Structure 1
Amino acid sequence: MLEVEAVQAKGRHAPLIERTSFTVEVGELILVQGNSQLQRSGLSLALTGRLRPDKGTISWDGSDKRKTLRRRSSLIDSPRVNQMEEHMRVRDYAAEMLSYMPHKMLKRPSTEQWLRDHGLEDLDNLWEEQLTPDQRIRLVVALAGQEKRSDLLVFDTPSRHANHTATWLPRLHRLARNEEHPRAVVAVVPRISTSWHGLTARIGETAPKPYVPSGLPLDELFTPRTAQEDLS
């Protein structure tokens, strides 16, 4: 379980993270709203042990050591941190991301084979600027699922790739509820869709998390209407 208790972090001119609290368990997806990209990236870095809060605690399974957070978590597609760079091919980005991950075999599988195994062979030769929103989400979610040691996945503003929540939220929900490796999944976003009825939190708020019965199917947690009504 990830527990965030009254976390705060200073910024250069204004608070980077205002007093924030929430919890999320393995098998759950929570959407956390932050107004600015700086806030969202700051919280994402703190949740994964890459930024030390000035006040409050962030703990995983009772341990508030940053090295535990870094070891048990992954930061996914964070702007200016580990997002796909402009003028980069998918095959090169995937190869770079896969090179950071441990593999059981001594020989790492080829990037081409990995893309085929994950149904992404159509992206192999594409440049960053050629990717559609759905293709971007497919790629980053597949790479996130490859993080075998990570029980916590933090997505920094996945909604920037898509016009509405339905493009990315179901994929993150499936990651959280994966039968072989369930995870706690956090999506830090600029806006929480009214179509989402699951766990939510907001940077700058410390209200207790709402109760959501464990194991609810996605169609009871997320009921998208139209793209216009469900803008991220």
Structure 2
Amino acid sequence: MGRTACTLIASGRLAPHTGEVLLDGEANLKRLRSAAAPVDSPTITEPEHHMKVKHVVAEALALHSRPPGTSFIRHMTRTASPATWIRDNGFTDIAEEHVAALDPALRLHLLLSLAFADPQVRVAAVDSPDRHDISYQDMLRVLTRHTSAGRKTSNQSRRRSRSVLAVVAQLPAAEDLPPYTHPGDLHTGGLHTGWAGAAPRTTTEAETGVHPGEQQVQQ
């Protein structure tokens, strides 16, 4: 529940009792809510286990917000149909599969792709991706793929920025990550990301100031 609350606060769906969440240096809850998406939050945005991939896609595309100043008709004509989106994003082979049966890394890739399919979304806050038995290596690979740094192309300057926040149960140990990474902040070729979770296993309560079961956010 604490991780879900953290995800909802980071995506503007829940106001914190103290402190503030800034987007581009501004504390604007309405703007944050439009620019950030909570991904895979249990009982909130998590896909129902009985749903097939094609149904998850259809539901997600239908819920995408309409950009300010855009008429409903124009918004609908510019929104791809579920079948078209599935084809264009390379999910045709799994369209008939139940989302609960997908490999965890593929499932995470699908849900992040759908989050960023909303033209207003710049930040994806993923709720407890580690609950799906995915390794930290695979998790980081998929998360990085969906950031601006992981999507560098010749027209990168014309693409909107993309950031991903993963709220996890526990900070990964160094041996669980690729050699070029470490728990906490990661700086790799313009990529800036971090982990949100409990205190690392290798530190003590006295060293971190975090009691067992509490959460901290590293930026």
**Which amino acid counterpart does residue 84 of structure 2 have in structure 1?**
Q
Residue of structure 2 equivalent to 1:189: 168
More strand by share: 1
- Residue-by-residue CA offset, 1:133-188 (whole Å, 9 max, x unaligned): 23312311221231321222111111222331122211211221233333222110
**Which amino acid counterpart does residue 185 of structure 1 have in structure 2?**
V
Using the TM superposition, name which of 167-176 and 45-54 deviates more. Answer: 167-176
Residue of structure 1 equivalent to 2:11: 48
Using the TM superposition, name which of 158-167 and 65-74 deviates more. Answer: 158-167
| TM-superposed deviation, 1:43 | 0.6
The alignment partner of 2:146 has SS state of helix
Residue of structure 2 equivalent to 1:131: 102
Residue of structure 2 equivalent to 1:18: none
- Whether the 8 Å contact between 1:172 and 1:185 is mirrored in structure 2 is yes
TM-score by length of 2: 0.69
| TM-superposed deviation, 1:129 | 3.2
**Which amino acid counterpart does residue 150 of structure 1 have in structure 2?**
V
Whole-angstrom distance in 1 between the partners of 2:90 and 2:31: 33
The alignment partner of 2:97 has SS state of coil
| TM-superposed deviation, 1:104 | 5.4
Query: Identity of paired residues, percent?
Result: 28
* 5+ residue gaps, structure 2: 67-73, 195-219
In structure 2, the CA distance between the partners of 1:115 and 1:192, relative to structure 1 (3 Å rule), is: same
Cα RMSD (Å): 2.7
Greater length-normalized contact order (CA 8 Å, ≥ 6 residues apart): 1
- Does 1:63 pair with 2:38? no
| TM-superposed deviation, 1:132 | 2.2
Whole-angstrom distance in 1 between the partners of 2:116 and 2:51: 22
Whole-angstrom distance in 1 between the partners of 2:80 and 2:90: 15
Whole-angstrom distance in 2 between the partners of 1:182 and 1:89: 30
Alignment of 1:96-175 (within 5 A): 96-101=59-64, 102=66, 106=77, 108-175=79-146
More helix by share: 2
**Which amino acid counterpart does residue 182 of structure 1 have in structure 2?**
S
- Whether the 8 Å contact between 2:186 and 2:192 is mirrored in structure 1 is no
* 5+ residue gaps, structure 1: 1-37, 201-209, 222-232
**Which amino acid counterpart does residue 169 of structure 1 have in structure 2?**
L
- Whether the 8 Å contact between 2:171 and 2:183 is mirrored in structure 1 is no
